[in-house]
């Protein structure tokens, strides 16, 4: 699979492959390229053509870099990740009229769906409104 030239938008302009090669290696880890390739392959498996898959993968990596760039953050995997993604989807789709349907779809009790919604709501509030007295 041929890769289009990687050009990343950055503050004052665009970084080309040549610009990236000039950066110190510790500032441009090879894992970033792998992250783009992994996402690109996932988008191709979902039915996107290669050019569109690359654009989506690049946008996803850039969004993650904007969010977590320059700091360490943990990304779980396995069951922990699947439960977190499931819970985020339940919260996103939940409203008063469909709790029973969500419980049936995800094979959970209605009480569990409500608990997930409370937990997810608390996470979203913490994101936009940090605690007054941090620990």
Query: Structural domains in the chain?
Result: 8-68 (no CATH), 79-128 (1.10.10)
Report the alpha-carbon distance of residue 75 to residue 73 in Å, rounded. 7
Mean pLDDT value across residues 107-117: 97
Mean pLDDT value across residues 31-59: 92
**CB under 8 Å to 65, separation ≥6 — which residues?**
32
Report the alpha-carbon distance of residue 40 to residue 123 in Å, rounded. 29
Report the alpha-carbon distance of residue 40 to residue 34 in Å, rounded. 10
Report the alpha-carbon distance of residue 31 to residue 34 in Å, rounded. 5
The string of pLDDT tens digits covering residues 113-124 is 999 999 999 998
- Residue 2: the pLDDT is 44
Name the pTM for this structure.
0.62
């Amino acid at each position: 699979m041929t890769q289009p030239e990687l050009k990343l938008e950055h503050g004052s302009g665009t970084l080309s492959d040549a610009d990236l090669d000039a950066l110190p290696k510790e500032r441009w880890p090879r894992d970033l390229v792998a992250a783009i390739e992994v996402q690109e392959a996932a988008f191709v498996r979902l039915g996107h053509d290669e050019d569109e898959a690359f654009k989506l993968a690049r946008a996803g990596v850039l969004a993650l870099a904007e969010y977590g760039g320059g700091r360490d953050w943990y990304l779980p995997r396995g069951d922990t990740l699947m439960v977190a993604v499931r819970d985020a989807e339940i919260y996103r789709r939940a409203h008063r009229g469909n709790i029973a349907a969500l419980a049936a779809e995800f094979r959970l009790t209605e009480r569990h769906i409500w608990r997930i919604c409370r937990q997810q709501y608390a996470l979203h509030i913490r994101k936009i409104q940090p605690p007054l007295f941090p620990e």
